[in-house]
Structure 1
């Protein structure tokens, strides 16, 4: 008498299993279709595709977390040849994987000392991961923002900061001019600059990057992309000008300003209201030829390096994109003498609202 219920249970389990298998197959097939579409558009990918099981093994079941962001988490891992890797596992997924494959396609076609190397990726339905070369010194932000460091001993020194600034500029110049396609990053900030064992900077995180034809000087975008506090004004409002490689220049200038100040550009806790927005405050000091009042300046060489980086940053954050230098000019200025640099006009968007101090990456619709 119990045979019929047992048969029903077995049938139900079989149907459920079939549904699960069908759903898994559909996800896998969808992943393959998205990857195939990218292969048609961008050609063969130059990096290896890993299975999720391989990623799990590589990270020893995600044992050691290196960091966490709005995208997910980064884990320390070891490849088959024994070399260390960083595995970025995405948890907040957007779309069907187009943005993820965009990052793979963008970074896999780069090869430069100041661009992080992508070694492989995993794309199995909702399981998505990127395997990068391991950067032992982590990201640049921890060496800039020392508000939570009691002894404030994270300052790298002005010679190192100057060298790092130049390396980042060279990496961006390569993305804009050195690839067979132009790559606009759209999320340049200290958190996305990684440092190797020699503190050589590497531009990373190409999740918002846009791949363009080299002949394209202007790009179209349905949404603003980037991190509040670093986004160029024209990305938010087309009245300021067209979106182009100069939008990355603006983000670079805002980051360079933070490297100089050793603090976030917007400090709502500043006692003096004139110090809330650092570029505004430092511009006045440069304009009046006053003491810079910056941390760790111990000699005349430090002062000259700091002054040069300040002037370059102020040129980069000019409100009108046409007044900003291209990254090639930025590298020339950083490599040259501060005596050859003119003080730029004051950027007239000098005090953005405090809400832009939010450091999360964003996509904002523009009507």
Structure 2
């Protein structure tokens, strides 16, 4: 059994207001070709198919184009689950009708597990799609008393453990945040205060865990508990990541062989730094000058229209920082750290400044619940 594990397509995403749709079309075509080249039995998408719950029409059209190529033309089954960015009900529309064609979409969480058996050229395997679900959703669907993301995941995995796969390898597909995973700035938090973290050990009993949410390719605990990472760099914090999809080959006994297949973007995402004149001169011979760039100018003097001057040489400068004007670099670092703070940290700072005293544990618990509820409403709206 051989399959490609991918995730976090985020179709429709923008980077600093720059549409990435054509960049996504370019890299998704590579995934289709890799599926053909390696003669895979299935393609897995572990959540965040779209970038938001109500995707734009051109994003829906691109997904339709890719799925049609894989399922209808190449006869390669596709399994996709809803991530925290996706609208579960919208993504799952007509999924029961599509199942027979080889397109398996797991949208809203259901209290009945529907295993998917994929027939491979050298063996079969059983796949279990678990869409992203916060503890409140799991409590509602299963009428259970779970309070953390880990408790919710354990509840879902009980069904997988109890299912009789007739000796076939078990592959779990999930969208979650493993404790100790390496984050990027482009990932939307699943919760706040660390309550979204899940131990990797809950997935180790299975033959392979195809995970989504974290954008850097990585594994935690055991090598078969793995994130494929996003298909493109979706923030400048990812500039040093090497994007790929994961080729997995399972023996009939469920032992996984893993290979990372690199993806090549139309334009790289990177940060360049220096004084304006030096950057403009270097840009004349920079073969990658059409990359998506963040520029950090070290000039300490005022400059008239620096963005215009830069874009005359680097057409895709998306963000400009005047770091040279910051007399105190420590203040710049503090400013960047402040931007990275989550809602709870920012409100905690605000509360302390206004009231003159820190928030109590009870007050923090109220805010955690309120912010989690706002995120949940945002995902379902």
Query: Shorter-chain TM-score: what band?
Result: under 0.3
What is the TM-score normalised by the length of structure 1?
A: 0.24
What is the TM-score normalised by the length of structure 2?
A: 0.24
**Larger strand percent:** 2
Q: Give the structure with higher Rg (CA).
A: 1
**Larger helix percent:** 1
